[in-house]
Amino acid sequence: MAVKPSNKFGGKDFGGCGLIGIIDTSGTPLPGGMIISSLCTMKERGNGLGSGYAIYGVYPDFREHYAMHLMYSSDNAIPVVEEHLKENLEVIHSEPIPVRRVGAIQHPPSFWRYFVNVPEKQRGNGAGQDTIVRVVMEINEKIENAYVLSSGKNMAVFKGVGHPDEIADFFRVDEYSGHTLIGHNRFPTNTPGWWGGAHPFTILDWAIVHNGELSSYGTNKRYVEMYGYKCALLTDTEVVAYLFDLLIRRKGLSLEASASVMAPPFWKNIQEMGEPQKSYYTALRTVYGSAALNGPFAIVMGFNGGIMGFNDRIKLRPLVVGKKGDVVAIASEESAIREVINDPEDIHVPRAGEPVIVRLKDAKK
Number of domains in the chain: 1
**Residue 126: its pLDDT value, please?**
74
Which residues of the chain fall below pLDDT 70?
Answer: 1-15, 364-365
SS3 (DSSP) at 155: strand
pLDDT at 105 (0 to 100): 96
In a domain, 320, yes or no: yes
Q: End-to-end CA distance of the chain, in Å?
A: 44
258 occurs within a structural domain: no
**Residue whose C-alpha is closest to residue 339's, from 20, 60, 68:** 20
**Model confidence over 337-353: pLDDT tens digits?**
999 999 999 999 999 99
Q: Kindly state the DSSP code that residue 265 receives in the 8-state scheme.
A: P
* CATH number of 116's domain: 3.60.20.10
Q: Is there a domain that residue 46 lies in?
A: yes
How high is the pLDDT of residue 364? 59
**Cα separation values, 354 from 112, 189, 333, Å:** 38, 25, 17
Strand 206-212: give its sheet, edge to edge.
201-203, 206-212, 297-303, 306-311, 356-359
Q: Does residue 149 form part of some domain?
A: yes
Q: Residues with Cβ < 8 Å from 327, sequence gap 6 or more?
A: 22, 23, 24, 25, 30, 341
Q: Per the residue annotation, which of 6, 9, 16, 17 is the catalytic one? A: 17
User: For residue 80, what pLDDT is reported?
Assistant: 98
Domain hosting residue 138, numbered range = 18-246+297-359
Q: Is residue 100 part of a domain?
A: yes
Please, where are the H alpha helices in 148-254? 164-171, 217-225, 237-244
Return d(Cα 136, Cα 88) in angstroms, integer.
11
- Residue 291 forms part of a structural domain: no
* 40 catalytically annotated: no
The stretches of 197-323 forming alpha helices (DSSP H) are 217-225, 237-244, 255-262, 267-271, 277-287
> Cβ distance 297 to 16 under 8 Å?
no
pLDDT at 13: 40
Q: Measure Cα distances from 290 to 25, 223, 266, 314 in Å.
A: 33, 6, 15, 19
